[in-house]
């Protein structure tokens, strides 16, 4: 089951570039939350701070507090532990090119020392079913490489890979921006199904997508969060002028 | 065409000059004294195999470890720059100098020529090639693949070994084969180390024969039948290198998945 995320006074830098400034935000458990905003506004940096991927860049720095459930991730846990609880799906599908479909899904568990083969088989099947890929790949699980799938299938494979480690939170950084409309709608259907079991945070450029999948939406601009409210309110009656300008297409 | 032509030309000429002297004796007999007909290079073939095995045991692991350090752990550090510079300089050291260096560092203190010292010389010559190709192949692995592993909660060292190195492994293996093929034909570093041996030896602490050495000695000799053996030896050396490289390629290409790049 998913857990809520509480972010307070979060600041992040790349070198001297202050990319996130004083973010305060409560993301509800077992819902989909969309983050919208123009390119470079800090929304990707924000999700990378939630699983501590931000700090894998040597010039990156972060301050503030992020609670996942009741775990203070910057004070009480190691990055690897957090990343097992907070899965991530990237903008471009990035399956491990030398691994089979099966091994791609099992990678997170195997590389963390999980060896029970029968349980692994079950987890792989369940994860692929959860990501709506099972029927398309079940006959070639071990024969075919993850890289031989189509772009949309690869992205669902990456979702299965993230689900296999049984995370509580699923971060999606523009998961459909590199995909065609059919694949995109499959991913959106998937988000719809998954959000009852996981807390989903999805970064998107596509405002219709945010409107379709998310209950709550946050609008980022120049490293600050301008507005955070129900998706309905953001798209019909935003409180901030800048949000209104953005969603009506006046800039960005 | 221009790439293939020299290899084909060399090969055809070697077959023309050497094939007639190739027979079973060549592969199973040791050299006969001057004046006696026949004899072979079995000792040199075995010697080369032993020297290359010792060389690969040193050059491949050290080179790969160095390459991993350069590409994954030491990126941008002073130590990495020093290692990279050293590898490049080492790559430029003439092979005869390598032979003399190993002679004074191992042969002189031990008091005798040995297969071991020859293997060390070849191994050290392999390091820079293996190291730099490993580094370059690892740098070609997209960062997205590293991030994918890290985002699953895999510790960095494990992600490097199990994901990044594995993804780059075809290129790394090619680099190792390149280094192997290059030192397989080296003569100069062996003159002062392995020294050569007219008899059979499989001991690491004794002088040992090697194909390039034997070819060198035979080609310089005044005897016609030794010349013929030298040609045959050259042909065998080339064929063995091609075989070894193909074998490694074959073994490592099996089990590769459909669609994997």
Those residues whose C-beta lies under 8 Å from the C-beta of residue A232, and which sit 6 or more positions away, are none
β-bridge pairing A216-221 and A224-230 = antiparallel
What does the alpha-carbon distance between residue B57 and residue B66 come to, in Å, rounded to a whole number? 14
Position B260 pLDDT exceeds 60? no
Q: Six-digit token pair at A120?
A: 């692994």
**Closest approach of chain A CAs to the CA of B204, in angstroms?**
39
- Closest to A31 in 3D by CA, of A219, A190, A216: A216
Structure confidence at residue B29 as a pLDDT band (50, 70, 90):
confident
- If you average pLDDT over residues A128-145, what whole number do you get? 91
Report the Cα–Cα distance between both ends of chain A, in Å, rounded: 36
Number of C-beta neighbours around residue A143 at 10 A: 14
The contacts of residue B17 (CB under 8 Å, 6+ apart) are B228, B231, B235
Question: Is A132 inside a domain boundary?
Answer: no
Q: Is the dihedral of CA B70, B75, B79, B82 positive or negative?
A: positive
CA distance B207 to chain A (A): 44
Q: CB contact, 8 Å: B53 with chain A?
A: no
Q: Is B89 exposed, middle or buried (0-12, 13-18, 19+ CB in 10 A)?
A: exposed
Nearest CA-CA partner of A94 in A107, A112, A83: A107
B259–chain A Cβ distance below 8 A for any pair: yes
Kindly report, residue by residue over A203-248, the tens digit of the pLDDT: 998 888 999 999 999 999 999 999 999 999 999 999 999 999 998 8
Distance between CA A171 and CA A187 in Å, rounded? 13
Q: Is there a contact between B152 and A53 if contact means CB atoms under 8 Å apart?
A: no
A31-35, A103-107, B8-12, B244-248: range with lowest mean pLDDT: B244-248
Provide the percentage of residues in chain B whose pLDDT is more than 90.
61
* Residue A221, beta-bridge partner list: A224
Interface probe, candidates A82, A97, A153, chain B, greatest B C-beta count within 10 A: A97
B143 touches chain A (CB under 8 A): no
Report which secondary-structure segment, H or E, holds A14.
Answer: strand A5-14
Q: Which domain holds residue A74?
A: 5-96+167-247
Please name the helix (run of DSSP H) or strand (run of DSSP E) that holds residue A245, with its range, or none. Answer: helix A241-247
- Average pLDDT taken over every residue of chain B: 90
B118 within 8 A of B208, measured Cβ to Cβ: yes
More confident residue, A154 or A2: A154
- Whether the per-residue pLDDT at B258 is higher than 50: the answer is no
Picking from A15, A100, A111 by the largest number of B CB atoms within 10 A of its own CB, the best residue to mutate is A111
Give the mean model confidence (pLDDT) for residues A162-175. 94
pLDDT at B92: 92
Residues 6+ apart with CB under 8 A from B121: B55, B98, B99, B102, B189, B190, B193
Nearest neighbour of A90 by CB, restricted to B148, B159, B162: B148
Q: Which CATH number fits domain B50-209: 1.10.10.10, 3.20.20.70, 1.10.3720.10, 3.30.465.10?
A: 1.10.3720.10
Write the pLDDT tens digit of every residue in B118-132: 999 999 999 999 999
pLDDT band for position A65 (50/70/90)? very high
In which band, very low, low, confident or very high, does the pLDDT at A252 lie, cut at 50, 70 and 90? low
Distance CA B72, CA A81 (A): 22
Burial of A11 (0-12, 13-18, 19+ CB in 10 A): middle
Is residue B207 within 8 A of residue B201, CB to CB? The reply is yes
Q: What is the pTM of this model?
A: 0.85
**Would you state the pLDDT for residue B259?**
46
- On whether residue A104 sits in a domain, the answer given is no
Cβ separation A94–B145 shorter than 8 A:
yes
CATH number for the domain spanning A217: value is: 3.40.50.300
Joined together, the tokens standing for residue B23 give 């027979």
Distance CA B75, CA B146 (A): 15
Has residue B100 got a pLDDT over 90? yes
Helix, strand, coil share of chain A (percent; to 5): 40, 25, 35
Classify residue A24: in a domain, yes or no: yes
pLDDT at A206: 87
Query: Which residue has tokens 């050259």?
Result: B234
Assess contact for B31 and B40: CB atoms under 8 A: yes
Cβ contact B167:B145 at 8 Å? yes
Nearest CA of chain A to the CA of B115: how many Å? 39
CB contact under 8 A, A80 and B145: no
Domain residues of chain B, as ranges? 50-209
Give CA separation, A117 vs A164, B16, B117, B118, in Å. 14, 58, 47, 47
Looking at residue B261, its pLDDT comes to 43
- Give CA–CA dist A85/A208, Å, rounded: 29
Question: Which of B148, B155, B261 lies nearest to residue A94, judging by beta carbons?
Answer: B148
**Contacts with B145 from chain A: Cβ below 8 Å:** 94, 96-97
Average pLDDT in the A57-84 region?
92
| Predicted pLDDT at A112 | 87
Q: Which of A95, A98, A165 sits opposite B152 (nearest CB)?
A: A165
Count of structural domains, chain A: 1
Question: What is the model's pLDDT at position B87?
Answer: 94
> For position B39, what pLDDT does the model report?
80
């Amino acid at each position: 089951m998913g857990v809520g995320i509480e972010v307070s006074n979060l600041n992040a830098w790349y070198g001297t570039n202050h990319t996130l400034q004083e973010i305060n935000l409560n993301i509800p458990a077992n819902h989909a939350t969309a983050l919208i905003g123009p390119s470079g506004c800090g929304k990707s940096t924000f999700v990378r701070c939630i699983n501590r991927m931000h700090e894998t860049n040597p010039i990156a720095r972060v301050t503030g507090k992020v609670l996942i459930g009741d775990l203070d991730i910057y004070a009480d846990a190691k990055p690897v532990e957090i990343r097992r609880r907070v899965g991530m799906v990237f903008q471009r599908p990035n399956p491990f090119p030398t691994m089979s479909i099966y091994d791609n899904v099992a990678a997170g568990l195997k590389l963390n020392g999980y060896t029970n083969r029968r349980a692994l088989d079950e987890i792989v099947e369940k994860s692929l079913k959860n990501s709506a890929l099972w029927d398309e790949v079940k006959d070639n699980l071990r024969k075919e490489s993850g890289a031989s799938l189509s772009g949309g299938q690869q992205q669902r494979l990456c979702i299965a890979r993230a689900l296999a480690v049984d995370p509580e939170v699923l971060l999606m950084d523009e998961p459909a921006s590199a995909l065609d409309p059919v694949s995109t709608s499959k991913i959106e259907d998937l988000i719809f199904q998954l959000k009852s079991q996981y807390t989903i945070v999805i970064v998107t450029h596509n405002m219709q997508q945010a409107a379709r999948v998310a209950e709550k939406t946050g609008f980022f601009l120049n490293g600050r969060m301008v507005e955070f409210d129900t998706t309905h309110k953001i798209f019909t009656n935003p409180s901030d002028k800048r949000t209104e300008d953005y969603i009506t297409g006046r800039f960005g | 065409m221009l790439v293939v032509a020299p290899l084909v030309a060399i090969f055809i000429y070697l077959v023309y000059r050497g094939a007639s002297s190739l027979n079973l004796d060549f592969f199973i007999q040791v050299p006969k004294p001057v004046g006696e007909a026949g004899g072979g290079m079995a000792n040199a073939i075995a010697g080369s195999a032993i020297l290359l095995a010792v060389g690969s045991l040193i050059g491949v692991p050290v080179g790969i470890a160095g390459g991993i350090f350069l590409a994954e752990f030491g990126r941008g550090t002073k130590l990495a720059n020093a290692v990279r510079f050293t590898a490049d300089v080492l790559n430029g050291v003439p092979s005869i100098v390598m032979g003399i260096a190993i002679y004074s560092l191992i042969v002189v203190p031990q008091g005798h020529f040995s297969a071991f010292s020859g293997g060390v010389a070849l191994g050290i010559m392999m390091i820079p090639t293996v190291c730099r190709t490993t580094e370059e192949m690892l740098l070609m692995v997209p960062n997205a693949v590293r991030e994918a592993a890290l985002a699953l909660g895999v510790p960095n060292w494990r992600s490097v070994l199990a994901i990044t190195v594995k993804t780059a492994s075809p290129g790394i293996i090619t680099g190792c084969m390149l280094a192997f093929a290059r030192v397989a034909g080296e003569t100069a570093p062996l003159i002062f180390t392995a020294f050569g041996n007219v008899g059979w030896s499989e001991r690491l602490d004794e002088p040992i024969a090697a194909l390039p050495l034997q070819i060198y000695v035979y080609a310089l000799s005044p005897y016609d039948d030794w010349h013929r053996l030298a040609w045959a030896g050259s042909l065998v050396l080339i064929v063995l290198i091609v075989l070894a490289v193909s074998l490694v390629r074959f073994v490592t290409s099996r089990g590769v998945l459909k669609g994997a790049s």
